[in-house]
Amino acid sequence: MTKVSMTVNGRAVSGEVEGRTLLSAFLREGLGLTGTHVGCDTSQCGACVVHVDGKAIKSCTVFAMDVAGAEVRTIEGMANADGSLGTIQQAFQDHHGLQCGFCTPGMVMSAAALLAENPKPSEADVRHYLDGNICRCTGYHNIVKAVLAASGQDVSAVAAE
């Protein structure tokens, strides 16, 4: 076991890990941050997306030791300082962008990364950016709508064409 240290949601943390300990496992089992979910073993479903040094990555496909010293942000770090829902989280609730909630942390983290890169994305931009986040409940309609709304765009006219 080796000691690994990083900053998670603004807090300095450390823990003992093996070489094979994935970042997702370190977060979930080591730190008790179970909001980050694991939904596949081929790096595709995106339920485990977190930010490392500001960039969205799949925490199930990164070793904890490979991101030692990094700034990590998880779904638990997305609310406002007073505990209220952040802008993206609020948009997901307002527009029913989640059902079972399992893919939701990854969706929110990917959406946050998108809006950081592209503050006013088009519908196509949103759909393309969420290519690595699978949802089985929503058919994506309200997720895309929520992300557009979170970017401050008017979604009242969203329909098929």
Partner 1 sequence: MPKDHGIGASSKRREDIRFLTGRGVYTDDMNLHGQTYAVFVRSQVAHGRIKSINTSNAASMPGVLAVFTGEDFKDVGGNPAGWLINSRDGTPMREPKRPVLAHGKVRHVGDAYAAVVAESYAEAKDAAEQLAADSDIEELPAIIDMAAAVANASNRVHDEIPDNLCYDWGWIEDNRAAVDAAIKAAPHVTVLELVNNRLVPNAMEPRASIGEYFPGTGDYKLTTTSQNPHLTRLLVAAFVLGIPENKLTVVAPDVGGGFGSKIYHYGEEAVVLAAAKKLARPVRWTAERSESFLSDAHGRDHVTKIELACEKDGTFIAFRTETMANVGAYLSNFATVTPTFLHGTLMAGPYKVPNVYVNVKTVFTNTAPVDAYRGAGRPEATYSLERVIDKMCRELGLDPFEVRRKNFITTDMFPYTTPVGLAYDTGNYHATLDKAIEIGNVAGFEARRAASAKRGKLRGMGLSTWIEACGIAPSHLVGVLGARVGLYDAATVRVNATGNISVMTGAHSHGQGHETVFAQIVAEKLGVPEASVEIVHGDTSKIPFGMGSYGSRSLAVCGVAVTKAIDKIVAKGKKIAAHMLEAAEEDITFENGSFSVAGTDKAKTFGEIAFSAYVPHNYPLETLEPGLEETAFYDPANFTYPAGAYICEVEVDAETGKVDVVAFHCADDFGNIMNPMVVEGQVHGGVGQGIGQALCENTTYDDTGQLLTGSYMDYAMPRAGDVPFYNVDYSCQTPCTHNPLGVKGCGEAGAIGSPPAVVNAVIDALHRGGHTHVKHIDMPVSPSRVWQAIHG
Partner 2 sequence: MHNFDFVKPASIADAVKALSSDGAQALSGGQTLLPTMKQRLAAPAVLVSLTGIAEMKGVCRGDGGLHVGAATTHATVAKEAAAHYPALAALAGGIGDPAVRNRGTIGGSIANNDPAACYPAGVLGSGATVVTSKRKIAADDFFQGLFSTALDEGEIVTEVRFPIPEKAAYVKFQQPASRFALTGVFVAKFGTGVRVAVTGAGQGGVFRWTEAEAALSRSFAPGAVDGLSLSGDDMISDLHGSAAYRANLVKVLTGRAVAAAG
Can you tell me which of 2, 5, 14, 34 binds partner 1, judged by CB under 8 A?
A: 34
Instruction: Note whether 95 and 57 are within 8 A (CB).
Output: no
| Max Cα–Cα distance, the chain, nearest Å | 56
Residue 102 touching partner 1 (CB under 8 A): yes
Return the half-sphere exposure (C-beta side, CA atoms, 13 A cut-off) of residue 68. Answer: 13
Instruction: Note whether 19 and 68 are within 8 A (CB).
Output: no
Bridge-partner residues for 57, per DSSP?
50
Taking the least distance from each CB to partner 1, the nearer of 69 and 161 is 161
CA–CA distance, 99 with 115 (Å, rounded to integer): 22
Contacts to partner 1 by CB under 8 A: 18, 20, 28-29, 32-42, 44-45, 47, 74-76, 78-79, 85, 89, 92-94, 96, 98-105, 108, 123-124, 126-128, 130-131, 133-145, 158-161
Contacts to partner 2 by CB under 8 A: 2, 18-20, 22, 41-44, 46, 49, 52, 55-58, 60-63, 65-66, 68, 110, 113-114, 129, 131-133
